[in-house]
Structure 1
């Protein structure tokens, strides 16, 4: 087997190119397809649905419920057994569906290749599916083509390629051809390489494919994404920790209650087991996972209306803890288009909008920008084709009502010298006022050195050293502001003839035009708002350090005392050195995908919840690594959208700040919902433990507790999740991600409120005992607990009293209370249901007693909140 194409030496490469000038034969294509496989990117391994379903039963709390179901079956409690198994299967199905929906694939990476590619095979130009392109193929590229594989240029006709999907930068890259002289070939030079996923914006070229599929630069990014593991959100960690500790506590308490039931009250083993089952069902918040998912889903719907589309439900609450936003520059903080800023002509430095057409040098500056350009611009719809810097010049002309098409027709291009990255110049020949004139634009250092005169409003004057130094000083000033500077010059010719490189001398220098990819107007306010909320914004870009720092300073990211680092600087640093300087670095320039991951990881090592924004393929690994990856919905590649947790439908950085506010609100609502669920469960636990210690009958059948936990409790919990965001959330600092959701204050409220509810419930139990024995007592306790927890839903809407929160500010809470009451009445009075849920008949006196006892805890809590509020 021959060497892989992408690993061959220059001599091997040139030898094969010479031996196959007409491209590969059909037999060679087939051999290489077998050797390298199709031009596709690998998919990640997926678990089967059956495996995913079974994994849902690994949780310790689920195992406890399974044991409870088995014990219920042994005690011939059919109703409880059926309900418990139904709950477990339903939760497993929901968990499996949620995982499948959340699973990310790399299918969009494959879509980065165009459907077809033009290749030369057997001396014939043919179009083949991109998947069939193999190393060694000769691919023909033209303007508008998407590059389907990495390749080395062997023939180049002014090729310019947009590599923004890989580098993140909108500026086109000029390419060179690989020299056929084997002594001069330089395979390590990327200037004669094109890369998969890039777009040809100008010119054409013949390319020898060197790598396909996972061996391309795009494939390396795909592999990097596969290696990057997504981190659990703070809520996931907190709930996992809570579940584990709760399971241990439940098993310990169940064992104690089982022993007490046998030795203290002399119950039989099966009856004692029923006490343990009741306690397990009371303690396990069966609906907690579903409620959290529903609350998160409600939050995502609200955020979607504000142009923040959440792909990962679990990531919603992480937004509230975000303390660092690592943002890409191009297309995220900036507008992703070049715009003329300042011009210099006739000794004056002025804003582009202040250009004066009556001034001869300034008018000629605009004329050269129009005529010595290949781009096109349609002001009607804002569409453009060509190099962004040339488009910016056309937009400047349009601002002065100069029609590009008519002007070019009036001054047709007679000859041209195309732009060349070595010359750094582009020249075109036109008739201006009957005089053949060479118009040239390019790099200032080249063009200024070839100029012998300077155009002023008084006419051409000699280019002295003083005038040359003045122009260079202006260039330095503009460059320090992060602006890209183009120089313009003209030369009267002796006639209309073919141009030579020798003609690009003895110019009359006309002036300078500076341009920049400007910041989004809303980015400045968004960065300031983020700072108010205790969130640090970091710029990470592939642009030059000076340009990036200038933009960052304009937006408010780069502050006094901050510093900027380049990718080279990062490579020279160890992780320990980076950790030390990290708080002072606001800008990272000229960075690679690996650098971005390293920066995100460094902030995560400091315990920060990190958001990373971006739109290019090069951003995808860091988007996946970050706690919250944010992709651009309009300009973003499909790869970045797949890797992200959130997509901005409007590409507006300010939308991130609004999403953070919603994330904080969602977290607060989840915390309130957990308080509601666990305080209710605590009341049931205390009742069961009390009955066991006092030798009483079981106060609740397992089916009672499942009814409360899954039905009547779910409605208020969901309503709490719909609570509107309170004002001032952005003025608070991000919460500590290490802080458990069940902090000391919440645990105290859960226990205190649970005890407050348990007292009237046991009072109802004793009333039932006096009326009609254990069956009536269990029904009275069940009804009182259900109604008390429905009332308790109003207490858990927020820290303030219901009067300050407002009854009508969350109509869902009223609907949840009404729905819960109707469900309770149905269980108590509809034949069949009362049998299934083991409820006995109650009269009006019993109902009034239940209502009074159930309302008492809420009355006490609301009075306490009113007093504390005052």
Structure 2
């Protein structure tokens, strides 16, 4: 997990005194005059704010979509033609759709402010040899800061001196365990962020101990500030948004071609300019999928309500179809698939057998120590209450960095017992014997090698390991020192682990079954991550370390990500490279995380997912938040997303198969008819009734087969669908034209009436065939609301010509024979579409 810049590594690789010299910081701290000069020159310790649009400009920005532009054009044309009802309906649909998007994104835009305010705090600085408390924003580069337990680190800084100093930086690096920080320099090499043991980072917090540090970076130059800066940039378009945009451009191109063709041909050949213009714009309105924004909004809102009932809160409606299209889920480890809670999991002797003696000694040590109360001690004490009433505390030898161990001395009836706990390699140095199966054996080279192998074996399994050793003493002394930590008996080891969340092992097979692959991208090390994968049953195809990614080109990375499951020691920028590589390979990528360092990845992914115990910033930048600790709802949410996407695609495919076909027919009819095939006002009425019949699509069910695998925008499939089913609709329209005009030789008004009811019936009823791959009405039936709305609208359209309203629109009542003929054409069309559908899906999959 290499750092973004080299500055921190340079300071980590020099002595504290040299760091002070490089920053021109005296040992007593900066003077107030020097602080003012540096603040004026370098700026305050605040994150750069993104340029914000005023609320009016922000609202206008939502009208840039090609689909919205088409709808605005259609609304304007409708108003120009005097079709005020159509104009108002289309305009209302636009405003509702835009308003939903505007309010969602406006609220989400407040997240950067929350990120900034999350580190607004005070800090203790040393100036003129005095400790004073100031606003964190007034800290400058070179300031000496003093930190103790509970403090928030205000800037990136180099440790000058430290005592038992532990920092929780899991939100930034993904590490489960608190990290000890010291003043000792680290090697100058490509050191991961998590291993800079003498550097502290803005936004992390102090667990225990105290330290003095010199500020190296402030504001937007800090690691935390870099994340805030990336969050302030414009969000990337998701897969669903890109698909909608592409579809909008496709509709725009088709509409422009047909409108220009109809207008120019009719004007030149028939010399009817005004009539041709009105007919052409009516065709444009008919081609426009004006209900699509409403269909999408209602479908996604309905899906959102269903998901909320299952513990999935949807913050951005457009993320629902992305959720369903997702085929790769990248997830952070700590706090997302693990509990972010350290637990004691093993207590063994040197041979690897479980040992109650080791557990009792560890409990006595953790219970009686008064120094650093870290999560490891809490894990020991929470594991099991152990009887220790027969012991009383005598003394304590605190932990320090150089020894990497601590000891307590307790007394029983006969002896004093020293119990030492610490880093195995340091405890080994103090041991002269070890206990195995109640036997005391010499800790010689062979025993040392065996103990080291046992320690390394536990570490390789992803455990954090401490060694436990004891020493029996006479009762002569009351105080003890480091010198007494010698001649110890090695008892064994205690091992700790951040366990996986409950239920996640059951979720993975479900996700795999519905076509979602899991990849883990974490700042933690690969051993711990691989152990978690074993715990949850996730098969590991390959491992990539952060230090390796810089050597990979974008093309090489795109190839590597396909055969990698674990991405370990990764920085936020490196996580984003992986997400972009997966997206460029054609995947719809979800990212699940809970920390500050996950926010950029949540934003870069097609759908960002967070969990109930995430930091506020992660929740704000997530599109979806899981409120239940169980991740079982993740599977249910994906299926809900696929249902929403399925209903959206129904409306699009119906329009392409029949509505577009009818408009193509109109363009073809002007080549041989001496009159318009349908009056402009009749086209608008047809379009209005048809649209009303489709309003109930969001209530429709989706076949199980559709939800089994991820579905995504596929413009190539959409075009193929249009090229196959659109002409079939036109063929039946031309059959209608031939029978009415050439065989029956009806009047222009009767012709227009006949095509009106035929086209309305075909484009309205075809939903029942197109909505499923199965046999309609027998193997798969639409919702009752969709059945009712389509039946009522077809009935209305066929009745209108026989009413006074029909005369107003220029219709003429048709004889029963012609109506029967048109009904037969409609039934034959639906049968033809069913046969074609079955043939089409043999060679084409969405």
TM interval, short-chain normalised:
0.7 to 0.9
1:593 aligns with 2:572: yes
2:622 corresponds to: 644
Deviation at 1:167, TM superposition (A): 0.4
Change (3 A) 1:867 1:602: closer
**What secondary structure sits across from 1:430 in the alignment?**
strand
Residues 829 and 155 of structure 1: is their aligned pair in 2 closer, same or farther, counting only changes over 3 Å?
Answer: farther
How many pairs were matched up? 816
Choose the corresponding residue for 2:704, options 724, 727, 741: 727
How big is the shift at 1:651?
5.0
Counterpart-to-counterpart distance in 1, 2:527 and 2:543: 9
Question: Could you tell me whether the CA contact under 8 Å between 2:63 and 2:98 is conserved in 1?
Answer: no
Give the equivalent residue in structure 1 for 2:245. 240
CA distance in 1, matches of 2:506, 2:348: 31
Residue 591 of structure 1: CA displacement? 1.9
The alignment partner of 1:740 has SS state of helix
Verify: 1:252 aligned to 2:257, yes or no.
yes
- Residues 731/840 of structure 1: CA separation in 2 closer, same or farther (3 Å cut): closer
CA distance in 1, matches of 2:425, 2:251: 72
| 8 Å contact from structure 2 (residues 313, 627) kept in 1 | yes
Q: Distance in 2 between matches of 1:645 and 1:157?
A: 42
Which residue does the alignment assign to 1:387?
374
Alpha-carbon deviations, 1:735-789, whole Å to 9, x = none? 5766535142454234424655786699899999969x74x87567556655654
- 1:30-179 superposed matches below 5 A: 33-51=39-57, 77-79=81-83, 83-84=86-87, 87-88=90-91, 91=94, 94-95=97-98, 98-99=101-102, 101-102=104-105, 104-105=108-109, 106-119=112-125, 128-177=134-183
Aligned partners of 2:28 and 2:126 also within 8 Å: no
Equivalent pair of 1:332/1:652 in contact (CA under 8 Å): no
Which 10-residue stretch deviates more, 450-459 or 477-486?
Answer: 450-459
Residues in 2 aligned to 1:14 and 1:801: alpha-carbon distance in whole angstroms: 77
Residues 723 and 142 (structure 1 numbering): CA distance in 2 closer, same or farther, change over 3 Å?
farther
1:627 pairs with 2:617? no
TM-score scaled by length of structure 1: 0.81
TM-aligned CA distance change 1:664 to 1:520, over 3 Å: same
Could you report, residue by residue, the CA deviation over 1:819-864 in whole angstroms, capped at 9, with x for unpaired residues? Answer: 7579879999999xx59x9546988x88998799569636752697
RMSD between aligned residues: 4.4
| 1:93 to 1:288, Cα distance in 2 relative to 1, 3 A | closer
Contact 1:452 1:506 in 2 (8 A): yes
User: Which residue matches 1:443?
Assistant: 423
Query: What secondary structure does 2:352 align onto?
Result: strand
Kept after mapping to 2: 8 A contact 1:324/1:609 = yes
Gaps of 5+ in 2: 1-6, 12-17, 186-192, 840-846
Within the candidate set 599, 604, 608, 2:587 is matched to 608
Match of 1:349 among 334, 349, 352: 352
Are 2:455 and 1:452 aligned?
Answer: no
* Separation of aligned partners in 2, 1:467 and 1:216: 47
Residue 380 (structure 1) aligns with:
none
Q: Which residue among 486, 491, 496 is the counterpart of 1:515?
A: 496
1:228–1:625 Cα contact (<8 Å) kept: no
Counterparts in 2 of 1:186-205, with a 5 A limit? 190-205=196-211
2:368 aligns with one of 356, 367, 371: 371
2:728 counterpart of 1:752: yes
| CA distance in structure 1 between the partners assigned to 2:43 and 2:798 by the alignment | 66
Q: Offset at 1:231?
A: 3.9
Pick closer, same or farther for the CA change 1:769–1:491 going to 2, 3 Å.
farther
Where do residues 457-496 of structure 1 align in structure 2 (5 Å cutoff)? Answer: 458=438, 460-493=440-473, 495-496=476-477
Assess, with a 3 A threshold, how the Cα gap between structure 1 residues 61 and 118 changes in structure 2: closer, same or farther. Answer: closer
Tell me how far 1:634 sits from its aligned partner: 1.9
Is 1:742 paired with 2:718?
yes
Q: CA deviation at 1:444?
A: 1.3
Measured after TM superposition, the shift of residue 163 of structure 1 is 0.2
1:797-808 to 2 correspondence within 5 Å? 797-804=771-778, 807=781
Over 3 Å counting, the alpha-carbon distance change for 1:459 and 1:64 in structure 2 is closer
What is the aligned partner in structure 2 of residue 555 from structure 1?
536
Per the alignment, do residues 410 and 747 of structure 1 end up closer, same or farther by CA in structure 2, a change over 3 Å counting?
farther
Residue 334 of structure 2 aligns to a residue in which SS? Answer: helix
Q: Is the 8 A contact 1:684 1:758 kept in 2?
A: no
* Selected match of 1:540 from 510, 513, 521: 521
- Whole-Å Cα distance in 1 between the matches of residues 817 and 54 of structure 2? 54
Structure 1 unaligned blocks of 5 or more = 180-186, 376-385
Task: For 2:635 and 2:96, locate their aligned partners in 1 and report how far apart those are by CA, in whole Å.
Answer: 35
Alignment of 1:419 with 2:399, yes or no, is yes
Higher deviation after alignment, 738-747 or 758-767: 758-767
CA distance in 2, matches of 1:766, 1:84: 36
Change (3 A) 1:797 1:848: farther
Greater mean alpha carbon deviation, residues 243-252 or residues 776-785: 776-785
Q: Is the 8 A contact 1:319 1:660 kept in 2?
A: yes
Deviation of residue 393 (structure 1)? Answer: 1.1
CA contact 1:6–1:210 (8 Å) conserved in 2: no
**Whole-Å separation in 2 of the counterparts to 1:752 and 1:371:** 84
- Tell me if structure 2 keeps the 8 A contact 1:300–1:316: yes
Task: Name the CA shift for 1:681/1:739 in 2 (closer, same or farther; >3 Å).
Answer: closer
Matching residue within 637, 640, 659 for 1:662: 640
Return the alpha-carbon distance in structure 1 between the equivalents of residues 260 and 73 of structure 2: 13
Closer, same or farther in 2 for the Cα pair 1:651/1:188, shift >3 Å? Answer: closer
How far off its partner does 1:502 sit? 1.7
Return the alpha-carbon distance in structure 2 between the equivalents of residues 61 and 326 of structure 1: 31
Written as runs of structure 1 = structure 2, the 5 A alignment for 1:5-24 is 10-12=19-21, 16-20=25-29
CA contact (8 A) 1:482 1:546 kept: yes
